[in-house]
Structure 1
Amino acid sequence: MAEWLEVIIRTLFAVVVLFFLTKLLGKRQVSQLSFFEYITGITVGSIAAYISLDTDKTWHLGLIALAVWVACSYGIEFLQIKSKKARDFIDFKSTVLIKDGKILEENMKKEKLSTDELLEELRKKDVFKVADVEFAIMESDGAINVLLTRENQPLTPKHLGIKVAPEQETQAVIMDGKIMDEPLDTLNLSRGWLNGELEKQGLTVENVFLGQVDSYGELTVDLYADSVQLQPPQDKPQLYALLKKCEADLELFSLSTKNQDAKQLYEDCSGKLQKLLQALKPFIQN
C-alpha cells in the first residue's frame, strides 16, 4: 500500500476512534475542562497524531496507549462522582477572591492571579467596582463567578411584587421550510393549527426559515426574506383590551342604573372581572 494512502486511512481511523471515545467521556470534555481533563485532551490528541503519521509497524501500540488514557480518564471521572475528597484533590477547591467588597490578597497569590486579570474578569461580568461585589469565587475550572451586593443586583418582578407567568421551553415547529411534527405533538398542537396561524400572517411554510411556539401558544417566525418586516401578534393585547372594556362597561352600568339590585350585581361582576384581569395580566398583556 502506498505510504500516503496508509496515512489517510490511519487518520480517518483515528478520527472515528477519537469521536467514539470522546462520546464515552461525555460533554465535559468539549466544554469547561478540569485540570486532569486538560492533560488528557492534550495527550489523547498527541497519541492520535502518532497513530496517523507513524508509518512503522508499531503504530498499533498507539491504540493501546489511547485506550489506557481513556480508561484512566473514565475511571477518574467515576471516582470524582462518588467522592467529594477525590473531586477536591483532582480538580482543586473553589477559592473566594472577593468577600464583602474586599479583595483577599492571599487567595489571589495562591491562584497566581494578578489584579489586572481579576478586574478583567469582573468587567466580563459587567462589574466595574470591586466594592459592588458581595462574593467573587474562582471555580475549579478557572471561571470566576460574581455575586453583587443586594442593592446592586438588578430588579426582578419578585422585588416589585409582580406575578409573572411561568415559562416553559419554546419549541421549534418549523425548520428550513419544513414542519416539525414532534415539537407540535409536545405542545398538543396540529398541522392545521399551524397552517391557520401562518395564514393569519399571510405566510406559507415554505416562506419560513424558523418558526417557534412558546408555552402560551404564540407563533413567531423568521423568514428567508430578511427584508420583510412582520407585525407582532396582537391576539393577546386585543383580548386584554376587550376584557378591560367589559370591566369599564360594567362600572358604567352600575353608575347609570337606579335599581339597587342591578347596581349591586354590576358592581359584583366588575369586581370579579378586575380580580380576573389581575390574575391574567402576566399571561395576556405584552
Structure 2
Amino acid sequence: MAQWLEVAIRSISFLTILFIITKIIGKRQIAQLSFFEYIAGITIGSIVAEASLARERSIMDALIAIGVWGIIPMLADYIAMKSKTARSVIEGHSTVFIKDGKVLEENLKKEKYTIDELLSLLRKKDIFSLSDVEYAVLEQDGNLNALLKKDKRPLTRSDLQMPSVNEKEPYTVIMDGHLLVDSLAKSGKTKEWLDQELEAAGVTIENVFIGQINSYGELYIDLFDDQLQAPAPQERPLLLANLKKLAADMEIFALATDCEKTKKMYERNAADIQRIIQQATPYLSN
C-alpha cells in the first residue's frame, strides 16, 4: 500500500473514532471541561497524531490507548455525579471574589488572580465599576458571575408593576429562499397565510434570506438584497391605535348626546376600552 494512502486511511479512521468519543462525552465548551476531560483530550490528540503518521505503530495499540483515555473522563463524570466529595476534587468549587461589596483579597490570592484580572472579568460582564457590585463568584469553569447592587440593576416589568409578557420561541419558516414546511406547520400558520404576508410586503419567497414567525404570530423577513428594507409588522400597533380611536369615539359620542342614559353607556364603554388598552399595551407595543 502506498505510504500516503495508508496515512490517509489511518487519519480518517482515527478522526472517526475521535468524533464518536466526542459525541459520547457531550457538547461541552473548552472552558467547561473538567480537569480529567482536559488532560484526556490533550492526550488522545497526541496519540492520534502519532498513530496517524507512525506507520510502525500498531493501529490496535492506538485504539486501546484511545479507548482507555476516552473512558477516563466518562468514569470521572460518573464518580462526580455519585459523590459530592469526588465532585469537588474532580470539578473544583466556586470561589467568592466579592461579598457585600467588598473584594476578598485572600480568595483572589488563593485562585492566583490579580485585581486587574478581576476587573477584566467584570468588564466582560459590562461592569466597569467595582462599587456597583454586591456579590461576585468565580465558577468552576473559570467564568465570573456578578450581582449588581439593588440601585444599579436595570428596571424590570415587575419593578414597574407591569404585567409579565410570556414569549414563545420564534419559528424559522423561510431560509435561503426556501420554505420550511415542518416549521411552518409547527407555528400554526398556513402556506396561504404566508403568501398573503409576503404579498403585502411586496416580496417573493425567493427574495427572502430568512423569515421567522414570532410569538405574536407576526412575520419578520430579511431579504437577500441588503439595500432593500422589508416593512416591519404593523398588526399590533395598528390594533392598539384602533382601540385608542374607539375609546376616543365613545367619549365624543358621550359629549354629543343629551340623553343621560345613553351618555352613561358611552362613558362606561369608554372606560372599559381604556382598561383593555392599559392591559394590552405591553403586548401590542413594538
TM class by smaller structure:
over 0.9
The alpha carbon displacement at 1:104 in A equals 0.6
Q: Which amino acid aligns with 1:132?
A: D
CA distance in 2, matches of 1:159, 1:34: 39
- Match of 1:166, SS state, is coil
Query: What's the counterpart of residue 241 of structure 1?
Result: 241
- TM-score, normalisation: structure 1: 0.96
Residue type of the alignment partner of 1:101: G
* Identity level (%): 47
Give the equivalent residue in structure 1 for 2:81: 81
Superposition RMSD in Å: 1.4
> 2:268 maps to what in 1?
268
Alignment of 1:177-192 (within 5 A): 177-192=177-192
- Alignment partner of 2:137: what SS? strand
Corresponding position: 1:4 with 2:9: no
- Which residue in the other structure is 1:115 paired with? 115
SS of alignment partner, residue 228 of structure 2 = coil
> Which position in structure 2 is the counterpart of 1:148?
148
Q: State the Cα distance separating 1:162 from its structure 2 match.
A: 1.9
The alpha-carbon deviation at position 144 of structure 1 amounts to: 1.0
Q: How much has 1:246 moved relative to structure 2? A: 0.5
Contact 2:176 2:210 (C-alpha < 8 Å) held by counterparts: yes
Q: Secondary structure at the match of 2:106?
A: helix
Corresponding position of 1:15: 15
Alignment correspondent of 1:54: 54
Partners in 2 of 1:208 and 1:231 — Cα distance?
13
What is the CA–CA distance in structure 1 between the aligned matches of 2:64 and 2:226, rounded to whole Å?
Answer: 53
Amino acid at match of 2:86: A
Structure 2 residues not aligned, in runs of 5+: none
Cα distance between partner residues in 2 of 1:151 and 1:101 = 13
How far apart in 1 are the matches of 2:201 and 2:104?
A: 58
CA offsets 1:157-191 (integer angstroms, 9 cap, x no match): 22112224211101111011111112111111111
1:116-265 superposed matches below 5 A? 116-265=116-265
Q: Which residue identity does 1:121 align to in structure 2?
A: L
Partners of 2:91 and 2:32 lie apart in 1 by: 12
CA distance in 2, matches of 1:26, 1:155: 37
Match of 1:33 in 2: 33
Is the partner of 1:28 in helix, strand or coil? coil
Residue 105 of structure 1 and its aligned partner are, at CA, apart by 0.9
Q: Give the drift of 1:81.
A: 2.6
Partner of 1:70: 70
- Bigger CA drift: 129-138 or 81-90? 81-90
CA deviation vs aligned residue, 1:180-217 (integer Å, no higher than 9, x gap): 11211111111111111100001111000100110101
